[in-house]
Amino acid sequence: MKRFYHRTRFLLLKKMNVLVITLAIVQTACMAQCFSCKNAPAGTIFCDDFEMDDLNSKYFEINNNAGDFVRKSGVGRDGTYGMRIQWQKAEVGAGVLSKSFGRTPDTYIGKNASQPNQDFDEIFWRMDVKAQEGWVGGGPAKLSRALCLANSNWAEGMMAHLWSGGKDNLFLGMDPASGIGTDGILKSTKYNDFANLRWLGFKSGNIDMFSTANSGRWFCVVGHVKLNTPGINNGIFEFWINDTLQASSQNLNWHSTWNTDPKNMHINAIFFENYWNDGSPVEQERYFDNLVIGTKPISCQCTTTGSEDHTAKEAVEVLWSPYEKKVMLLNKSIGLVQKYALIGLDGQVWMKDEWVDEVRELNLSTYKAGMYFLKIEDSRVYKFILTD
């Protein structure tokens, strides 16, 4: 059987005009653990990959909603620890993690704050998000927000919301708001004091990360906020999904002249939320992993951690012929079910199937030019670039 397999492989290679092209042609395999706080990016203020059971020593407030929002083994990215969120049918709130950093207005908000003596005018934050297979109902509104908690009553000097929007709420959008008037005076008096907020313009992304078609796969979301120079409308809010820019505003008046007073608060909190305005239509779950807050840009690119060699464990060999625009999948464990998904750069799933025989050929000749990602069930991801 082994001799037959190698001859079959040789004939396939010859047929596809692939000479000595093997896995080396697609050096984008995401092996083992894609992200670890042990290798956190430069500029990191705070990181939580949930591998340690230490939530109570990291966040200033945790609402687990009676067990709906909990740390759990196997639900994180690459089968690691992560946070499991469960909505019952019609349920609205399913829990939140509230993280403070920098200077805060009181000891409660400042509990477990990272770098508590600093002022932060610019931050980036990342979170990995996945909805369960078969997810329905679109986006559950609130996902995360960066905040300036301006006083002990939780009056907000600014809010950089990332929440669902667009057609059928299938997309992630950004919705910046300020509790500081254009005169530089705090107008907000409490948390979510909507009557005293200035809304600075909602913008939607273009990847339908909350669609049923995209359920069951991880999305990496990165937000970026920079407060304006006092008196100048040059504040920034923007966000990315899987390293693809979704929306950006770079002329915002977050704080007017508020920051000229050294006693006033700057960006000092991020909430990771699970609040569904209309309630979930069914009982269903989603998952969080790899929360990062930092002062420098954060990439979603998969970075392999650990030194274990996983090559020998690969159950599927991937061969790519850029000339014929074909991918050949060789099942090394004939009779065992293998799964794959072909995903576009915008997150659209173009193919999704499983097979048990030795060979599966994917013909991409009719697809438009661009970058595509092939995900194999064992978490490896390969990148293909189609040209005209």
pLDDT of residue 377: 67
Phi/psi of residue 164, nearest 5 degrees: -75, 155
3-state secondary structure the chain: CHHHHHHHHHHHHHHCCCCCCCHHHCCCCCCCECCCHHHCCCCEEEEECCCCCCHHHCCCEEECCCCCEEEECCCCHHHCCEEEEEECCCCCEEEEEEEEECCCCCCCCCCCCECCCCCECEEEEEEEEEECCCCCCCCCCEEEEEEEECCCCCCEEEEEEEEEECHHHCEEEEEEEECECCCCCECCCCCCCHHHCEECCCEECCCCCCCCCCCCCCEEEEEEEECCCCCCCCEEEEEEECCEEEEEEEEECCCCCHHHCCCCCCECEEEEEEECCCCCCCCEEEEEEEEEEECCCCCCCCCCECCCCCHHHCCEEEEEECCCCEEEEEECCCCCCEEEEEEECCCCEEEEEEECCCEEEEECCCCCCEEEEEEECCCCEEEEEECC
- Under the banding of pLDDT at 50, 70 and 90, the label for residue 382 is confident
pLDDT of residue 334: 61
| Ramachandran category for residue 310: left, alpha or beta (phi over 0 → left; psi -120 to 50 → alpha) | alpha
Q: Find all residues with CB under 8 Å of 201, minimum gap 6, and list them.
A: 176, 249
Which CATH class name applies to 37-294? mainly beta
- Under the banding of pLDDT at 50, 70 and 90, the label for residue 315 is low
Q: Average of pLDDT values for 223-239?
A: 97
Residue 268 has which token pair? 């000092």
Classify domain 2-30+314-386 by CATH number.
2.60.40.3080
Position 333 pLDDT exceeds 70: no
Domain boundaries, the chain: 2-30+314-386, 37-294
Q: Find all residues with CB under 8 Å of 107, minimum gap 6, and list them.
A: none
Percent of the chain whose predicted confidence (pLDDT) is above 70:
85
Q: Over the stretch 76-123, which tens digit does the pLDDT of each residue have? A: 998 999 999 999 999 999 999 999 999 999 999 999 999 999 999 999
- Under the banding of pLDDT at 50, 70 and 90, the label for residue 310 is very low
Of the spans 27-36, 166-175, 295-304, which averages the highest pLDDT? 166-175
Position 325 pLDDT exceeds 70: yes
Q: Over the stretch 260-275, which tens digit does the pLDDT of each residue have? A: 999 999 999 999 999 9
pLDDT of residue 381: 72
Entry pTM: 0.73
Position 23 pLDDT exceeds 80: no
Residue 372 has which token pair? 């595509």
Q: Average of pLDDT values for 370-388?
A: 73
Q: Average of pLDDT values for 4-32?
A: 40
